[in-house]
Amino acid sequence: MTKLRRLIHTFSPTVVLALVFLSGVVSAESWGRQMFAETRFDFGRVALRTSEEHRFEFENVWEQDVRIVSVRSSCTCTSVSFEQPIVKSLEKGYIVAKLNTNGQHLRDVSATITVTLELRVGERILREAVQLDVKGYIRSDVILTPGIIDFGVVVLGKEDERKLRIEYRGGRSDWKITDIVRDNPFVHARAEEVKRNSREVVYDVVVKLKSDTPAGYVNDILRFVTNDKQTVIATTNSNENVNATFISSIQLPVRGNIVAPLQVKPSPFLIGVLSPNEKVIKSIIVRNDATFRILNVTSSDPRFKFTFSNTERPLQLISVMFTSSRNDDDEDLERKIIIKTNLPKNETISIDVKGFLYGNKTPQTISTLVRDEIEIDSWHAVSQDDVGSKLTNKIDSEFYDTSSVIFGKPNTAKTGNAGLY
Preceding peptide of 268 cis, ω within 30°: yes
pLDDT at 262 over 70: yes
CA dist., res. 28 & res. 7, Å (int)? 17
pLDDT digits (tens, 9 = 90+) for 92-143: 999 999 888 877 778 888 899 999 999 888 888 888 999 999 998 888 888 8
CATH number given to 146-259: 2.60.40.10
* Residue pair 78/113 in contact by the 8 Å Cβ criterion: yes
Other beta carbons within 10 angstroms of residue 220's beta carbon come to 16
- Lowest-confidence segment of 20-34, 47-61, 308-322 by average pLDDT: 20-34
pLDDT at residue 365, rounded to an integer? 41
Q: Are strands 269-274 and 348-357 parallel, antiparallel or unpaired?
A: parallel
pLDDT at 269 over 80: yes
Preceding peptide of 314 cis, ω within 30°: no
* Residue pair 3/21 in contact by the 8 Å Cβ criterion: yes
pLDDT at residue 29, rounded to an integer? 52
pLDDT at residue 418, rounded to an integer? 31
**Domain residue limits, the chain:** 3-139, 146-259, 262-410
CA dist., res. 8 & res. 17, Å (int)? 6
CA dist., res. 392 & res. 128, Å (int)? 43
pTM above 0.85, yes or no: no
Same topology between domain 146-259 and domain 262-410: yes
Phi, psi of 119 (to 5 degrees): -140, 130
CATH number given to 3-139: 2.60.40.10
pLDDT digits (tens, 9 = 90+) for 57-97: 999 888 888 999 999 999 888 989 998 899 988 889 999 99
* 68 vs 403, more confident: 68
Tell me which architecture the domain covering 262-410 has in CATH: Sandwich (2.60)
Contacts 24+ apart (CB under 8 A), 407-411: 407/283, 407/319, 407/374, 407/378, 407/379, 407/382, 408/382, 409/378, 409/382
CA-to-CA dists, residue 378 to 285, 318, 420, angstroms: 19, 16, 16
Select from 7, 8, 106, 119 the least CA-distant residue to 63: 7
* Alpha carbon 244 to its chain's center: 37
pLDDT at residue 15, rounded to an integer? 32
